[in-house]
Structure 1
Amino acid sequence: MGHAQVLEGGCRCSRLRFRLTAPPLMESLCHCHGCQRMTASAFSTTISVPEHGFEVVTGETEIGGIHGDEAHHHHCIWCKSWVFTRVEPGLGFVNVRATLIDDPHAFAPYVEMQAAEKLAWVETQVERRYARFPALEDYPALIADYAAWRAGR
């Protein structure tokens, strides 16, 4: 996903469409029990992009999943697909479900988080692994490491 690459995607029914116009800050997997339940799968896939590089092109969302102050999980109002998450307080990025981009092969996870909750039979190929979430102060270095890794691919 280079600087000039624009990625588009949508929910299961395609009524909600989105566009990514900024390079990702990170591509990751999350193994937490919450993501397992939200996806009805082993983990969630995430492309984290700066807020200015994400837009909903068509359709509307509603909040689903947890209804708290920490994260707002946006779902298509029709098919209920979990499309993206905004973390609060506004941290300047949006977490988009990577398998919803039109070309999911463009997604290459660099890091997995919450590996302590990973299902025993799951095996992944990532560069970095965290038992829990990285500390907030570790993210700038992690984002820089990801950018260097991505540029070298």
Structure 2
Amino acid sequence: MDGGCHCGAIRYRLAGDFANHTLCHCSDCRRASGAPMVGWIMMAREGVALLQGSPQIYASSEHARRHFCAACGTGLFYTNDTMLPGLIDVQSATLDDPGAVPPTDQIQIAERLGWMTGIDALPVHARYPGME
């Protein structure tokens, strides 16, 4: 599976098995991504190969490192050598086919936004309203 950032400056390839595909609801992931939750595919670091470009790294806490494209800001990877030695989390929405790997679980639901529980009741649109 291949993926990359929004502007195309960084491209990567995943190879091998993944441990899980977790939807994280923590406030750190929300603030770093600007989204109500973030999907993470966890796998061995050697299973992620950079094909093009090199991400910038932001120390978001003492042990956590968030890897992102410096040109467009897309978040790509998360590492934490203390909590997850030898593993890397890949933001699943950055895959070329993000629907290829269904989520396996959700974490940090104690921090989940309250309105997420009723989201299926909202009106839906196939495209941007007015452009359907």
Structures share fold, TM-score greater than 0.5:
yes
Cα deviation 1:91-136 (Å, max 9, x = unaligned) = 1111000000000111211111100000112149xxxxxxxxxxxx
1:82 aligns with 2:72: no
Q: Give the Cα separation in 2 of the matches to 1:86 and 1:61.
A: 13
**Out of 3, 9, 14, which is 2:3 matched to?**
9
How far off is 1:76 after superposition? 0.8
The answer for the alignment partner of 2:107 in structure 1 is: 113
Contact 1:69 1:88 in 2 (8 A): no
Cα deviation 1:19-43 (Å, max 9, x = unaligned) = 1001111110110011111111111
Contact 1:38 1:65 in 2 (8 A): no
Q: Give the Cα separation in 2 of the matches to 1:65 and 1:17.
A: 22
| Secondary structure of 2:103 counterpart | coil
The answer for the alignment partner of 2:92 in structure 1 is: 98
Q: What amino acid is the match of 2:64?
A: A
List alignment gaps of at least 5 residues for structure 1: 1-6, 125-153
List alignment gaps of at least 5 residues for structure 2: 119-132
Q: Under a length normalisation based on structure 2, what TM-score does the superposition of the two structures give? A: 0.83
The answer for the alignment partner of 1:55 in structure 2 is: 49
Q: Give the Cα separation in 1 of the matches to 2:48 and 2:31.
A: 25
How far off is 1:64 after superposition? 2.7
Matches within 5 A, 1:62-77: 62-64=56-58, 66=60, 68-77=61-70
Q: Under a length normalisation based on structure 1, what TM-score does the superposition of the two structures give? A: 0.72
Q: Give the Cα separation in 2 of the matches to 1:87 and 1:18.
A: 19
| Secondary structure of 2:39 counterpart | strand
Over the aligned positions, Cα root-mean-square deviation in angstroms equals: 1.6
1:18 aligns with 2:12: yes
Q: What amino acid is the match of 1:115?
A: I
| Secondary structure of 1:77 counterpart | coil
How far off is 1:65 after superposition? 6.1
Count of aligned pairs between the two proteins: 117
Structure with the larger RCO, 1 or 2 (CA within 8 Å, 6+ apart): 2
Contact 1:73 1:82 in 2 (8 A): yes
Over 3 Å off, 4+ runs: none
How far off is 1:69 after superposition? 3.1
